[in-house]
Chain A
């Protein structure tokens, strides 16, 4: 195989494209701009840390199963960790959203960063909802029976039946987490490519 043929392979072209778009020092930078030294910038990584705990505790719950998380002290504990890490996840994500909205974080060609963040938020809400209806207790039955009328009124109930525990559990532990994680990875990659958005005052100084 000649060098020209090797360079024309899709793997070679893809590697060159990825490295050009996101060189290693940009993917894992050593420093950040001075304006990042503010508490408002910590809520994105707080959200991701909470997401990691959500996934880890979810995996442990999957190992034990509903009987375990309902009846044993360790199951209760892991179940509570799963719930409270979700609470922290949304708490931090909402403050991250407010912070980024207030600094118009879609500036400077960062529209895809903003959109992936917004869609991740929506997917996370759906993931949390399917979690609530997958608890296998009276709370989940109450939530599912209340939600079914709302979803049926949209016509979505034919495809997304909140009274179908098996379907809701599969959405909760397979489809939606995959979606949320992939969107999060894309979101972080976009932040790495475009950089952390500067405060509006910093942008004004640069452009003036």
Chain B
């Protein structure tokens, strides 16, 4: 097997996972990162202007 080259070499994954523990909650750092990214993407999707959308003029 080819090891140590290509994109896989950019991040060393050859170790035990890191976990965040808080009371009864235990979650891997990688899963936590994904969840945080989803929340950030969701918020950005709500507030970021969509290209080509014209602002609507509401009647007074």
Q: Which residues of A contact B (CB under 8 A)?
A: 34, 37-40, 42-43, 70-71, 73, 76, 80, 87, 91, 94-95, 98-99
CA distance A34 to B57 in the complex (A): 13
B25 part of interface (Cβ distance < 8 Å): no
Contacts of A99 in B (CB 8 A): 42, 45-46
Please tell me which one of the listed residues B34, B44, B52, B56 contacts residue A91 in the complex, with CB atoms under 8 A apart: B34
Closest chain B residue, CB of each to CB of A87? B34
CA distance A40 to B45 in the complex (A): 5
Q: How many A-B residue pairs have CB under 8 A?
A: 41
B20 part of interface (Cβ distance < 8 Å): no
* Residue of B44, B50, B52 contacting most chain A CB atoms (<10 Å): B50
* Contacting pair A37 B50 (CB below 8 A): yes
Q: List B28-57 residues whose CB lies under 8 Å from chain A.
A: 34, 37-38, 41-42, 44-46, 48, 50, 52-53, 56
- Tell me the minimal C-beta distance from B9 to chain A in angstroms: 12
* Contacting pair B48 A39 (CB below 8 A): yes
Name the prevailing secondary structure of the A interface residues. Answer: helix
Contacts of A71 in B (CB 8 A): 1
Please tell me which one of the listed residues A34, A37, A39, A87 contacts residue B45 in the complex, with CB atoms under 8 A apart: A39
Contacts of A76 in B (CB 8 A): 2, 6
Contacts of B46 in A (CB 8 A): 38-40, 99
Contacts of A38 in B (CB 8 A): 45-46, 50, 53
16 A-B pairs within 8 Å (CB atoms) are namely A34-B56, A37-B50, A38-B46, A38-B50, A39-B44, A39-B45, A39-B48, A40-B46, A73-B2, A76-B2, A76-B6, A87-B34, A98-B42, A99-B42, A99-B45, A99-B46
CA distance A71 to B1 in the complex (A): 6
> A39-B48, A99-B46 provided; 5 other pairs, C-beta below 8 A?
A37-B52, A43-B45, A73-B6, A95-B45, A98-B38
Contacts of A39 in B (CB 8 A): 44-46, 48, 50
* Residue of A39, A71, A80, A99 contacting most chain B CB atoms (<10 Å): A39
- Tell me the minimal C-beta distance from B50 to chain A in angstroms: 5
